[in-house]
Chains A and B, each alone.
Chain A
Amino acid sequence: MSAVIVAGVQVRRIALAGNPNCGKTTLFNALTGLRQKVGNYPGVTVEKKTGKFFGHHGEEMELLDLPGTYSLQNRSPDEKISCDILLGQRADTPRPDVIVAVLDSTNLERNLYLVAQIAEMHVPLVVALNMVDLAESKGIHLDLAAMKDALGVEVVPMVATKRVGLIELKQAISRAKVTPAKQPAPMPPVIEAEMEILRGLLCARGRVETARAEALLLISGAEHADPTLDKAASESRKRIRDAGLDPVHDPVEARYAWAQAIVEKSMRHDDAHALTWSDRLDVILTHRAWGWVVFVAVLTLMFVSIFTVAQYPMDWIDAGVSALGEKIGSMMAESDFRSLVTDGVISGVGSVLVFLPQILILFFFIGLLEDTGYMARAAFIMDRLMSKVGLHGKSFIPLLSSFACAIPGIMATRTIENYKDRLVTIFVAPFMSCSARLPVYALLIAVIFPPGQVSVWAKAGIMLAMYLLGIGAAFGSAWLFKKTLLKGETPMLLLELPPYRMPVLKTVLINMWQRSRMFLRRAGTVILALSIVLWALASYPKNPNADATPSEALGYSAAGRIGHAMEPLVKPLGYDWKIGIGLVSSFAAREVFAGTMAIIHNVEYEKKKLSPKLIDSVRADTWPDGRRVFTPLVCIGLMVFYVLALQCMSTVAIVRRETNSWRWPLFQIAYMTGMAYVAAFIVYQGGRLLGW
């Protein structure tokens, strides 16, 4: 027995593998509690979740949560990562000592397919048979002894949501000797013979343990770095085809036959055709009419919460940040450094922090929708509409989330497996009018209409038009990209509709916190740096005239000079240098526009409340020749610009992280801002031609 743990002995590395929706995340959380770390595998945007837990004898173990996949064929990034780790082919992640395959007992046959592939890899295996309570209630009776016998490994019945079976699982993992599955799926004789040839080559290269799995991967068409093996594999494939077999499909069918045989030995289903409550719920939730009603109601609830419930904590954060700025400001002597701390760092970072409540609420809802199984239905319902522009139903939630903020929206694209589809979705998400654009729209609409003259409907109409313009630009661009830059066969939609389940609050909350923390850490560092840069641009060089108004000081600063230098560029859009500064400073975050206008017009700017003074003074602004700057036409053009332009450094930072390169965010800035310029130009010049 290895019950005695000697100091310095390597901790055991355990990996969890399983299909999506098998309860793997719940089990991971139950084992590790909050001792977990979330990051990325270097070079790819696949999430890497690791944690620590204690085995049956109190020994520390390391737990790795492999991405939830249906297969270990190395095609998608998720599959490739899992496959490479299990074969011990990733330098950053050592091969696990034990793999725990988490299976959904209510869906045994398909879940066993993955086990068939794990069995080929010859890794020590423990099977966690999750959701046995649900299986029992569905009339599925499991014969654990028979299953254990058929697989040749420990089989632990579990209910991860209720922590049932955790101790038994730990016992199984802590055993001195955990063995691989007894008998992998037998292949048709012709394929077995070809595998033997490839196995010889692989063993000669030291790949003894994993030879069967690697030989099968090669036969199914996986590429190998070694040309000798590649050549041997393609010859094998040819011989298999000549024998009338299919090198891709026959192994898949053989594994399913293996899974089916185990199911037949170890499972009895009383009434496989009885309607479950989940089936009955689906009759309504995916109904031709009721399905839409529920769908719209769910989304409305989500958005109303994001805009109303989040308002309170947002106000608190806002007030807290202002108070902190004042407090620190009052403790420091008037100096450039004080200005840097209060106007630069605190208000800059604060302007981002204020979105945290919205992000938390959005992720809470997304987690809830995922955990209950409704998310799959939303994709099912929306797929037809999304397919018109070449996207998946799965792109819908990220785009929808972007109405609140593009950052969580872009982070939510991780559920899209196809990389090109994911890129397209990331690319068009910032077109959706986020909450940061609201203050800009609100200010400009107020400037267009003198108070009391126009009904609220006209104002709401303009607002709606801006939202629709953003949606149109997003879908149009998605269509364009699918036709050109990111062309590729529209990937197949293969969407599992898992049974509805009661959500586990802990899973939802942990998920919400992890995603939000990433937002804070990632965007936070970049925001901090750019806030300082923007502050410096707006503060230096100092106006030598000590009595200069804030407006004159800003005009003298680098930002002001940039504004003046930009004037020829923005003049065709009808903008003066002051709007130019507004556009530049808006790159930090769009809502900064209102604050910048306030500084330029020497108006005390109060956040949240649109001060009538600011509106009046913006409306009264004139060119040197006395013409009004903010004509209705300019205001509309400016709003169009804000709808389309990518002016948000947090978004740029997130896109950089999610795509792992600067190429995409830079192209995105050029594309969106270029489109904004052209559209604003057309609005302004076209409007003038029409005599407005």
Chain B
Amino acid sequence: MAETRLSDIPIAKKGRVEKMTLAPDASRRLGEMGLTRGATFEVVRYAPMGDPIEIRVRGYNLSLRRVDAENIFVEAL
């Protein structure tokens, strides 16, 4: 099964976080910002140069880099 990453979700589409393969501290910080396992999010836009990615999670807007988004595995909704 091809795994979907957060970075694969197109603009204006939603997804749900399944697991992260980031360093423990990085994934803890993501979790504390609300991007926990099971959290749903929507990709809002990309920055003018294509990176970082802006998402909407738990009612606010958060941006993270593509390189980190590639380590967040999600289910496309």
> Which residue in A252, A288, A393, A489 is a CB contact (below 8 Å) of B28?
A252
CB distance from A9 to the nearest CB of B (A): 39
**Would you call A497 and B54 a contact (CB within 8 A)?**
yes
Q: How large is the interface on B (under 10, 10 to 19, 20 to 34, 35 or more residues)?
A: 20 to 34
Complex: how many Å from CA A75 to CA B26? 11
Query: Which of A70, A287, A495 neighbours the largest number of chain B CB atoms within 10 Å of its CB?
Result: A495
**Would you call A494 and B23 a contact (CB within 8 A)?**
no
**Would you call A492 and B60 a contact (CB within 8 A)?**
no
**Would you call A292 and B59 a contact (CB within 8 A)?**
no
**Would you call B32 and A253 a contact (CB within 8 A)?**
no
B16 at the interface (CB under 8 A from A): no
* Chain A residues in 8 Å Cβ range of B37: 249, 253
* Chain B residues in 8 Å Cβ range of A380: 47, 52, 54, 63
Complex: how many Å from CA A272 to CA B45? 18
Question: Could you tell me which A residues sit within 8 Å of B by CB distance?
Answer: 70-71, 73, 75, 106-110, 113, 220-221, 248-249, 252-253, 256, 272, 282, 286-289, 291-292, 380-381, 383-385, 387, 393, 489, 492-498
Q: A381-B47, A383-B47 are in contact. Are A495 and B31 (CB under 8 A)?
A: no
Question: Could you tell me which B residues sit within 8 Å of A by CB distance?
Answer: 22-34, 36-39, 45, 47-52, 54, 58-65, 68
**Would you call A70 and B32 a contact (CB within 8 A)?**
yes
**Would you call A493 and B32 a contact (CB within 8 A)?**
no
CB distance from A234 to the nearest CB of B (A): 14
Complex: how many Å from CA A551 to CA B62? 62
**Would you call B33 and A493 a contact (CB within 8 A)?**
no
* Chain B residues in 8 Å Cβ range of A106: 59
* Chain A residues in 8 Å Cβ range of B62: 494-497
CB distance from A51 to the nearest CB of B (A): 28
* Chain A residues in 8 Å Cβ range of B48: 286-289, 291-292, 381
Complex: how many Å from CA A108 to CA B59? 8
Complex: how many Å from CA A493 to CA B62? 10
CB distance from B42 to the nearest CB of A (A): 9
**Would you call B65 and A110 a contact (CB within 8 A)?**
no
Identity of the chain B residue whose Cβ is nearest the Cβ of A253 in the assembled complex: B36
Please give 19 more A-B residue pairs, beta carbons under 8 A apart, in addition to A383-B47, A495-B63.
Answer: A75-B25, A107-B59, A220-B28, A249-B28, A249-B36, A253-B37, A286-B48, A286-B54, A380-B52, A380-B54, A380-B63, A381-B48, A387-B51, A387-B65, A492-B22, A492-B29, A492-B64, A493-B63, A497-B54
* 15 CB < 8 A contacts A-B: A106-B59, A110-B33, A110-B58, A249-B36, A249-B37, A252-B32, A256-B31, A256-B58, A286-B45, A292-B48, A387-B51, A494-B63, A495-B52, A498-B60, A498-B61
